[in-house]
């Protein structure tokens, strides 16, 4: 199923439909936008027909200088079977030949009053967000001191209860149970909640609660960049858990790797506090303060000093 169709950008940017209404259901498959200057000059060898075509003052003015038969021929070539839309900016007058070609080939011909560069930027940002690679992860996403923390683990391990405790401590819920993740840019993962589950939290024994209704608008947020993953698992006596913090595990989501910590769960451990401290420690490491590294260096100095004394 297409993520974006021409009718979506018509609604999003309140565009005026001039002709080619039959094609408004065409899919848009790329966020790249083309300004067909060379094409209007007659060079169609590498025409990117699958892109939205944007005509500004330069393109329209150039088209007006063409001979009548040249203009009609090139307008016809612009209206390709795969072209999702042709948009004219600045509210400019549209050549009659383009209106006729768009109608004949069912290519939506649209107009906006925005300036060309501004509209191009807004449309690109919109399409980048909508067309970004996406996936879904079973877990909870919470904003802790500005750090997007993805909490994962098998069903029943206590993810939602931990999230509730974090929210009560002043942090914000983004999504519970299912986290929709899109890669908006290189190494940038953004998580949101499915529309059906927005603001909801499931607590076994209580059922489903609406966090925003219960605790206020400050307890939730619509989306968050994910930078840290914390995996909860039942304590395994036979497994070695990192006690210093030098080992760094990575979790790959789509094409991006983020830091992953594994936290064992057993009675008596305050998971909310542990995760809160993990987020603060992660932020300190990004600022260049690594407690584990500093401890290791001091330990090495002590050992080296003891060896020197023996000598």
Sequence ranges of the domains in the chain: 6-131, 134-289
Q: What is the pLDDT of residue 288?
A: 85
Is 138 one of the annotated active-site residues of the chain?
Answer: yes
Binding residue per annotation — 64?
no
CB 141, CB 182: distance < 8 Å: no
157 is in an annotated binding site: yes
Q: Is 184 annotated as a binding residue?
A: no
177 is catalytic: yes
152-211 per-position pLDDT tens digit: 999 889 999 999 999 999 999 999 999 999 998 888 999 999 999 999 999 988 899 999
| Residue 283's pLDDT band (cuts 50, 70, 90) | very high
Confidence of residue 311 (pLDDT cuts 50, 70, 90): low
For 6: left if phi > 0, alpha if psi spans -120 to 50, otherwise beta; the answer is alpha
Catalytic residue chosen out of the listed positions 159, 182, 221, 231: 159
159 has binding-site annotation: yes
6-131: which CATH number, 3.40.50.970, 3.40.1390.20, 2.60.260.20, 3.30.43.10?
3.40.1390.20
225 — pLDDT class (breaks 50, 70, 90): very high
Hunting for tokens 């009659």 — which residue is that? 96
Q: What are the φ/ψ torsions at residue 283 (nearest 5 degrees)?
A: -65, -40
Confidence label for 304 from pLDDT (cuts 50, 70 and 90) = confident
CATH class of the domain at 134-289: alpha beta
Residue 158 in marked binding region: yes
Mean pLDDT value across residues 243-257: 84
Q: Is 156 annotated as a binding residue?
A: yes
- What is residue 247's predicted lDDT score, i.e. its pLDDT? 74
Place of tokens 């939506």: 108
pLDDT digits (tens, 9 = 90+) for 103-122: 999 999 999 999 999 999 99
Asked if residue 309 has pLDDT above 70, the reply is no
Model pTM score: 0.76
Return the structure tokens found at 106.
């069912």
Task: Answer whether 230's CB lies under 8 Å from 265's CB.
Answer: no
**Partners of 260 in beta bridges:** 229, 249
Q: Any binding-site annotation on 300?
A: no
Question: Does the annotation count 171 as an active-site position?
Answer: no
221 in Cβ contact with 174 (< 8 Å):
yes
pLDDT for 273 equals 95
Q: Over 60: is that where the pLDDT of 1 sits? A: no
Q: Is the pLDDT confidence value at 82 over 60? A: yes
304 is in an annotated binding site: no
| Percentage of the chain exceeding pLDDT 90 | 76
Cα distances (angstroms) measured from residue 3 to each of 6, 27, 29, 130, 136: 10, 8, 8, 7, 16
From 3, 138, 169, 269, active-site residue: 138
Q: Name the catalytic one among 240, 243, 252, 266.
A: 243
Calculated CA dihedral for residues 28, 33, 39, 43, nearest 10 degrees: -90
Active-site residue identified among 35, 177, 225, 260: 177
What local confidence, expressed as pLDDT, does residue 306 receive?
Answer: 67
């Amino acid at each position: 199923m297409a993520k974006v169709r021409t009718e979506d950008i018509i609604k999003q940017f309140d565009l005026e439909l001039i002709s080619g209404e039959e094609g408004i259901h065409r899919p848009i498959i790329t966020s790249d936008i083309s300004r067909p200057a060379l094409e209007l000059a007659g060079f169609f060898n590498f025409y990117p027909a699958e892109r939205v075509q944007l005509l500004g003052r330069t393109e329209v003015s150039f088209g007006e200088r063409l001979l009548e038969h040249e203009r009609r021929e090139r307008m016809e070539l612009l209206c390709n079977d795969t072209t999702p839309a042709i948009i004219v900016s600045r509210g400019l007058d549209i050549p009659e030949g383009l209106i006729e070609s768009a109608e004949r080939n069912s290519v939506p011909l649209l107009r906006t009053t925005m300036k060309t560069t501004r509209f191009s930027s807004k449309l690109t940002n919109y399409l980048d967000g909508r067309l970004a690679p996406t996936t879904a992860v079973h877990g909870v996403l919470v904003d802790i001191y500005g750090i997007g923390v993805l909490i994962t683990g098998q069903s029943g391990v206590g993810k939602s209860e931990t999230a509730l405790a974090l929210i009560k401590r002043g942090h914000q819920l983004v999504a519970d149970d299912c986290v929709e993740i899109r890669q908006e840019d290189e190494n940038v993962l953004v998580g949101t909640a499915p529309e059906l589950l927005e603001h909801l939290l499931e607590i076994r024994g209580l059922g489903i609660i609406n966090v925003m209704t219960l605790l206020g608008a400050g307890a939730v947020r619509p989306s968050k960049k994910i930078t840290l993953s914390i995996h909860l698992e039942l304590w395994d006596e036979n497994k070695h858990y990192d006690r210093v913090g030098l080992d760094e595990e990575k979790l790959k989501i789509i094409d991006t790797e983020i830091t992953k910590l594994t936290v064992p769960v057993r009675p008596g451990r305050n998971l909310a506090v542990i995760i809160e401290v993990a987020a603060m420690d992660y932020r300190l490491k990004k600022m260049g303060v690594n407690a584990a590294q500093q401890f290791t260096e001091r330990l090495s100095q002590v050992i080296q000093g003891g060896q020197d004394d023996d000598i």
